[in-house]
Amino acid sequence: MYRIVKKTQLANSIALMETEAPMVARGCQPGQFVIVRMDEDGERIPLTICDYDREKGTVTLVIQVVGAETRRMTKDLKLEAFHDVVGPLGCPSELVEKTDEELKAMKIVFVAGGLGTAPVYPQVKYLHSRGIDADVIIGAKTKDIVILEEEMKAVAGNVYVTTDDGSYGRSGMVTQTLQDLVEKEGKHYDLCVAIGPMIMMKFVCKLTETLNIPTIVSMNPIMVDGTGMCGACRITVDGQVKFACVDGPEFDGHKVNFDEAMRRTQLYKTQEGRAMLALEEGDTHHGGCGNCE
């Protein structure tokens, strides 16, 4: 069992949980994820690591209610422990492979949409620990679901909050804020990292292409199984088939076929849709097994 040592309600249907997982904490890097199970019969849920403490041996996860299992996990914050915490999984952010000199020569902006703020945070914190303060744009539909704002301000250079309804911070989409920063406020960026809903990442990438800003996106929102076996996170990147859970979750956003990925996500929700995808995609429908039995 993996004891939960801290539980916080961040917003409606969004909870933060810090759990004891020493082996995961010892080896994880920003950008990676874990798979958790609530109990012996529970569903396997892939969750991006929001934070980690190697000395305490803990990892922090942010869980949004999207189905029955995540509702059970977060209901009244009564869960005391996870049955399983498996990881770290996935490839770390490419930023951890760069030297301090390379990072200090770059101006980096992160665009975090909704729950995407959680996986953005460890990357910004990692950069801060190496003396680099990146800019961060946090986007949410309303003020009530803005998360981790103060935590982000403690490790970022500048934090710009924008809400779709204008109830807090700047008004409008994250793309408008990014465009304003570059075109009206004289900001220059060498790299953009965008994490959030696929539709948001798609339009951030369309904008950054016009602004000539290389862009990394995280495809963790479409993961289901987390091992490459289920085929849910199959995407096309630069014409090649990839699986977010084993090849990513981060990819060159300008090379991701977002329209195909969004269509697959909708089809994958039904048995009929999965059968159609299996027929269309043949042996590439699944990642690890290569077949559809």
Tell me, yes or no, whether 275 and 239 share the same domain.
yes
Statement: residue 4 has pLDDT above 70: yes
Confidence of residue 68 (pLDDT cuts 50, 70, 90): confident
pLDDT given for residue 228 in this prediction? 65
Are 291 and 231 within one domain? yes
Are 212 and 114 contained in the same domain? yes
Residues 116 and 209 in one domain: yes
Dump pLDDT digits (tens) for 29-60.
999 999 988 888 878 888 889 999 999 999 99
How high does pLDDT run on average in the chain? 87
Nearest to 194 by CA among 172, 169, 171, 177: 177
CB 159 within 8 A of CB 121: no
Q: What is the CATH number of the domain that holds 137?
A: 3.40.50.80
Q: Is the per-residue pLDDT at 175 higher than 90?
A: yes
111 and 206 assigned to the same domain: yes
State the CB neighbour count (10 A cutoff) for residue 282.
10
Confidence grade of residue 285 (pLDDT, cut at 50, 70, 90): low
Range of the domain at 172: 98-218
CB atoms under 10 Å from CB of 200, counted, come to 22
Cβ contact 172:164 at 8 Å? yes
Same domain flag for 189 and 229: no
Which of residues 218, 247, 262 is at a domain's end?
Answer: 218
Residues 208 and 147 occupy one common structural domain: yes
Please report the pLDDT score of residue 111 as a whole number.
Answer: 96
Asked if residue 200 and residue 178 are part of one domain, the reply reads yes
Q: Residue 78 sits in a domain of what CATH number?
A: 2.40.30.10
Distance from C-alpha of 239 to C-alpha of 218, rounded to nearest angstrom: 18
Same domain as 210, residue 234: no
pLDDT of 279: 67
**Which of 89, 107, 137 is the last residue in one of the domains?**
89
Q: Look up the pTM and report it.
A: 0.87
Same domain, 185 and 205: yes
Region for residue 234 given its phi and psi (left: phi exceeds 0; alpha: psi -120 to 50; beta: otherwise) = beta
Q: What are phi and psi of 112, to 5 degrees?
A: -110, 120
pLDDT in tens, 201-231: 999 999 999 999 999 999 887 776 666 666 6
Alpha carbon of 231 to those of 67, 79, 239, 251, 287: distances in Å?
19, 30, 17, 17, 6
* pLDDT for the residue 289: 45
Query: Residue 182 is encoded by which pair of tokens?
Result: 């570059």
The tokens describing 222, both together, are 């479409």
Looking at the fold, whether 7 and 33 belong to one and the same domain comes out as yes
Chain centre to alpha carbon of residue 87: 16
* Percent of the residues in the chain that have a pLDDT greater than 70, as a whole number: 88
Q: How confident is the model at residue 281 (pLDDT cuts 50, 70, 90)?
A: low
| Phi, then psi, of 168 in degrees rounded to 5 | -160, 140
- Report the distance separating Cα 251 and Cα 200, nearest Å: 15
Q: Over range 119-128, report the average pLDDT.
A: 94
Domain count for the chain = 3
Give the torsion through C-alpha atoms of 292, 65, 220, 263, to 10 deg.
60
- Partner residues linked to 113 by β-bridges: 139
| 103/124 Cα distance (integer angstroms) | 12
Q: Is the pLDDT of residue 269 over 70?
A: no
Q: Which two tokens stand for residue 142?
A: 């309303």
Using DSSP, state whether 284 is helix, strand or coil.
helix
Same domain, 125 and 214: yes
Counting residues of the chain whose pLDDT is more than 90, the rounded percentage is 51
Last residue of a domain, one of 89, 115, 131: 89
Phi, psi (deg, nearest 5) at residue 36: -120, 150
Q: Indicate whether 266 pLDDT > 80.
A: no
